[in-house]
């Protein structure tokens, strides 16, 4: 617990600052471009986000787990993940690049969607290096890199909006910052962690078991990507850019609330995965973590339910007032979402990822089936309710599984 506390604090601070910077960035873009322009921005970044998760193939979590267990082989594992990711990025990001005129909403979003694929090229390998940092318990560089990149993008984007720029210059700024973060992450790994991680190479015999072990993580990553961005993409195709902008605004608060606990999850994951962990340590950490997350979620949900209108007026302004119901429903959805996340982190770290993945597929299927008619009739509110339904249906099975492990 003495080790986890500072690491959790660093990653939590990192996520809080990232959430604050990201929220400020969305405010600048939302106020500068309006609901429709903000909807196009959200649509393009949703594609970049979902492809980043797919191309990561679940390898970040697997890399953290394996490098925590066998640190002297971390360099080889890192090289394997980078090679696999390069193949996936070439296939998926290249495919979207070619099909952007078909996949986009209009001509402007087509050009922006094509450019946003370069964000995937930078973001996917960056995740491998931060996974190595987490496995080594070296959390400070993650905080500094994310903070530096976020502040740089915020200032640059504010200047672009002030100068009358549109979506394309904003995406150029984002991808330039992402490539800068990647360069710094590689430099830090090369000089600080590489000397202790074994040979910087891998053999074909290493590749096969890693790919096999990565499949449950990859499926989970795919499900997580679809779950996180399917609502945005479906709204873009089933409803209007205005509804998409409203949901995109409301989901910023939802995502910001999730980022804070994610800092704790990232620090706890290696502790659950380490081979020398004891079962009683698992129980203690899990129960303490659950209590903290529950208290945090109740406070955030309460605030969003009571003060959604005031929060929107103070941030995005009165033009976004119609998003109040969507934000309130997303606040309710936080309760099962964050509790489910605690249980899923434990199952993946303790090698019960197949069950968690199967259950995640079921929840995602229910969410999409429920969301399509809800979005068609209710727009942004329907998307929020669909997320709540998808999380509720997997809560009890996850809770039952955890009880078996920790009883």
DSSP state of 191: I
Could you tell me if 47 and 232 are in contact, meaning their C-beta atoms sit under 8 angstroms apart? no
CA gap 130, 149 in Å, rounded: 14
Could you tell me if 386 and 253 are in contact, meaning their C-beta atoms sit under 8 angstroms apart? no
Rounded to 10°, the helix 380-406/279-315 angle is 170
Residue predicted with more confidence, 80 or 241? 80
Residue 116 pLDDT level (bands cut at 50, 70, 90): confident
Taking only the tens place, the pLDDT of each residue in 161-187 is 888 888 888 889 988 999 999 999 999
pLDDT at 275: 46
Q: 147: part of which helix (H) or strand (E)? A: helix 140-162
Tokens for 15, please give them: 């996520």
Q: What count of other Cβ atoms lies within 10 Å of the Cβ of residue 96?
A: 21
Taking only the tens place, the pLDDT of each residue in 61-86 is 778 777 776 777 778 888 888 888 88
Residue written as tokens 């195709």?
Answer: 237
Residue 282 pLDDT level (bands cut at 50, 70, 90): low
CA gap 110, 153 in Å, rounded: 22
CA gap 237, 156 in Å, rounded: 31
Is 164 strand, coil or helix? coil
pLDDT at 392: 92
CA gap 3, 253 in Å, rounded: 30
Q: 108: part of which helix (H) or strand (E)? A: helix 107-135
Calculate mean pLDDT across residues 38-63.
80
List, in order, residues 6 or more apart from 149 with CB less than 8 Å away.
177, 178, 180, 181
Average pLDDT, the chain: 80
> Which of 290, 328, 322, 286 has its CA nearest to residue 307?
328
pLDDT at 311 exceeding the cut of 60: yes
φ and ψ of 350, to 5 deg: -100, 20
CA gap 102, 130 in Å, rounded: 34
Q: Give residue 161's region: left, alpha or beta (phi > 0; psi -120 to 50).
A: alpha
Question: Burial level of 204, CB count in 10 A (0-12/13-18/19+)?
Answer: exposed
Alpha carbon 278 to chain centroid distance? 29
The per-residue DSSP string of 318-343 comes to GGGGGGHHHHHHHHHHHHHHHHHHHH
Tokens for 246, please give them: 């409203």
Query: For the chain, what are the domain ranges?
Result: 4-406
Tokens for 189, please give them: 């790994």
Taking only the tens place, the pLDDT of each residue in 342-370 is 888 888 777 777 788 788 888 888 988 88
> Which of 272, 407, 262, 255 has its CA nearest to residue 334?
255
Alpha carbon 181 to chain centroid distance? 17
pLDDT at 271: 63
């Amino acid at each position: 617990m003495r080790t986890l506390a500072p690491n959790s604090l660093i990653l939590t601070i990192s996520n809080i600052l990232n959430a604050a910077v990201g929220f400020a960035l969305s405010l600048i873009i939302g106020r500068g471009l309006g609901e429709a322009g903000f909807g196009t921005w959200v649509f393009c970044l949703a594609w970049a986000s979902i492809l980043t998760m797919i191309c990561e193939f679940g390898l970040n979590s697997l890399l953290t787990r394996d490098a925590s267990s066998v640190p002297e082989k971390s360099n080889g594992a890192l090289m394997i993940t980078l090679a696999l990711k390069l193949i996936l990025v070439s296939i998926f990001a290249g495919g979207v690049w070619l099909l952007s005129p078909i996949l986009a909403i209009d001509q402007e979003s087509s050009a922006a969607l094509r450019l946003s694929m370069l964000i995937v090229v930078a973001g996917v390998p960056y995740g491998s290096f931060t996974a190595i940092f987490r496995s080594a318990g070296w959390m400070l560089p993650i905080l500094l890199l994310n903070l530096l990149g976020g502040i740089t993008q915020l200032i640059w984007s504010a200047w672009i909006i002030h100068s009358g720029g549109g979506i394309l210059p904003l995406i150029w700024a984002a991808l330039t910052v992402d490539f800068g973060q990647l360069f710094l992450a590689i430099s830090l790994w090369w000089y600080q962690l590489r000397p202790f991680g074994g040979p910087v190479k891998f053999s074909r015999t290493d590749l096969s078991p890693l790919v096999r072990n990565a499949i449950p993580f990859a499926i989970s990553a795919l499900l997580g990507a679809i779950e996180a961005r399917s609502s945005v993409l479906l709204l873009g195709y089933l409803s209007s850019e205005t509804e998409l902008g409203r949901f995109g605004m409301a989901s910023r608060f939802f995502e910001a609330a999730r980022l804070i606990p994610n800092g704790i999850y990232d620090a706890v994951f290696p502790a659950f995965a380490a081979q020398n962990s004891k079962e009683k340590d698992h129980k203690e950490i899990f129960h303490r973590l659950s209590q903290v997350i529950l208290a945090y979620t109740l406070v955030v949900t309460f605030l969003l339910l009571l003060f959604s209108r005031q929060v929107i007026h103070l941030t995005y302004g009165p033009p976004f007032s119609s998003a109040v119901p969507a934000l309130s429903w997303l606040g309710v959805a936080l309760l099962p979402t964050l509790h489910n996340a605690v249980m899923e982190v434990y199952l993946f770290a303790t090698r019960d990822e197949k069950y968690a993945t199967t259950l995640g597929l079921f929840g995602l299927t229910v969410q999409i089936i429920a969301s399509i008619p809800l979005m068609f009739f209710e727009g942004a509110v329907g998307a929020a309710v669909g997320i709540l339904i998808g999380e509720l249906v997997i809560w009890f099975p996850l809770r039952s599984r955890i009880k078996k492990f920790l009883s």
